[in-house]
Amino acid sequence: MPIVAAFMVPHPPMIVPDVGRGSEKQIAKTIKAYEKVADEIAALKPDTIIISSPHSIMYADYFHISPGSRATGSFAEFGAPQVKFDIEYDEELVKLVSDRADQAHFPAGTLGEKNPSLDHGTMVPLWFILKKYKDFKLVRTGLSGQDLLKHYEYGMIIKDAVESLERKVVYVASGDLSHKLQDYGPYGFAEEGPLYDKRIMEVCSAARFGELFDFDESFCDKAAECGHRSFVIMAGALDGKAVESVQYSHEDVTGVGYGICSFVPKGDDASRHFLKARLKAVEDEIEQKRKTSDVFVKLARESAEYFVKNGREMKLPSWVPSELLNARAGAFVSVHKFGSLRGCIGTIEATQKNLALEIIYNAVSAVSKDPRFEPVAEDELKFLDINVDVLGSAEKINSSAELDVKKYGVIVQSGFKRGLLLPDLDGVDTVEQQISIARRKGNIAPGEKVELFRFEVVRHY
């Protein structure tokens, strides 16, 4: 049986009176909308409610599903230990989702349980629902550090598992919006905050789920949202379905955005397979770049693809122009997939006989030796965006005042320890950020005395 309804809800603990102690009155519109959601769920009488929570267990490369027969929790962390929960899990559906993930070689399941207690991203929705309806079991899942398309795919796996069972299931996507909406809020203000809230409410209120992929990581980070990936999983759980959507409320009076919408499936709709459409669009875009890239990127791509397919480095191609054969320089090869970094390896100074070989070897390293990522698989190649940065000579500078994050990369050195960061990177907006990240990359402590060097790059796309 298909999922019968889905809801996008926030999870501020203050909305619970024993926690808010009167402060919850300032978000009265959100409370009223939440009560409506609880009424609608009670009217549907679901057998199971699935809640995806940003505050459940989260791994960089794995979607955790809470195991076991039941879980407990309370708002003790928020000064209200008397508000307690004891909820039964739907073990059959949990196993089915895990099995479907295994069959698809998808990184999701019940491994890695760190804390079995319910988190507040789960308990806030439960607090409203349980006042109106109690006869259900729960499936609780966390998010991951994977890209947005992977979250949508996870939702599709959940959808497939649910549809194989004869039971009513409601999906609740728990997540606050931006945490940077007001100067007086606990997280301050960022211009991306109101932009995120406006945009996410427009997208969700119209169920334009394909546009959820268009929110890049840097924008979401600057807006300090916490629910986007939860909403994307929910969208995947409704893949291929016509959806009737309603916006119930949006408030930002506390400096944090709280949005509530409902989504009711209305039958199949072949035009709403958003993951399939996005993958085709990305593949077409990469193919076009393959045709128009300059020789630097063409060489890096050819080297990366040859290594992934054959397991060995390719020889220097005959078509490589003299400008790469007669030059020596350090170079970085960066690989992105669906807008997220997939690998980046480079050299500060020339280590090979020529720049062509520098690019060839660094491209191999970027797809196979970056310790932050698993080696690239062959079926990923058609989705990879590759660029090459050729480094100019590094010059020592006297202070950070001589840096510019858009123009110069930085090398931070302390004795034999050295960290480097390229210029003009998404999410790096200040010199202080740039130096701090370079320090971390070089394992240089914040208070440790350092020398600074700057360099320029020529970036090839």
| 436/409 same-domain check | yes
pLDDT tens-digit readout, 313-345: 999 999 999 999 999 999 999 999 998 899 999
Question: Does some domain include residue 287?
Answer: no
Residue 246's CATH number: 3.40.830.10
| 220/366 same-domain check | no
The whole domain housing 404 covers 392-461
Torsion angle of the four alpha carbons 272, 273, 274, 277, in this order, in degrees rounded to the nearest 10: -120
Question: Does some domain include residue 281?
Answer: no
* pTM, full prediction: 0.91
Residue 416's CATH number: 3.30.1490.150
Q: What is the rounded CA–CA span in Å between residue 73 and residue 120?
A: 9
Q: Residue 446 has what pLDDT? A: 87
Question: Does some domain include residue 351?
Answer: yes
**Residue in 65, 62, 50 with CA at minimum distance from that of residue 163:** 50
pLDDT tens-digit readout, 5-19: 999 999 999 999 999
| 416/437 same-domain check | yes
| 252/318 same-domain check | no
Question: Does some domain include residue 260?
Answer: yes
Q: Are the C-beta atoms of residues 31 and 254 closer than 8 Å to each other? A: no
| 93/111 same-domain check | yes
pLDDT tens-digit readout, 67-94: 999 999 999 999 999 999 999 999 999 9
Percent above pLDDT 90 for the chain: 97
Q: List the Cα angle 256/261/267 in 5-degree steps.
A: 150
SS3 371: coil
| 399/366 same-domain check | no
**Dihedral of alpha carbons 59, 65, 71, 75, sign:** positive
Q: What is the rounded CA–CA span in Å between residue 58 and residue 262?
A: 25
Boundary residue ending a domain (382, 400, 420): 382
| 64/183 same-domain check | yes
pLDDT tens-digit readout, 271-307: 999 999 999 999 999 999 999 999 999 999 999 999 9
Question: Does some domain include residue 29?
Answer: yes
Question: Does some domain include residue 282?
Answer: no
**Residue in 181, 190, 175 with CA at minimum distance from that of residue 229:** 175
Position of tokens 């809800």?
9
Q: List the Cα angle 201/205/208 in 5-degree steps.
A: 95
Question: Does some domain include residue 69?
Answer: yes
| 441/413 same-domain check | yes
Q: Are the C-beta atoms of residues 177 and 257 closer than 8 Å to each other? A: yes
| 211/313 same-domain check | no
| 315/348 same-domain check | yes
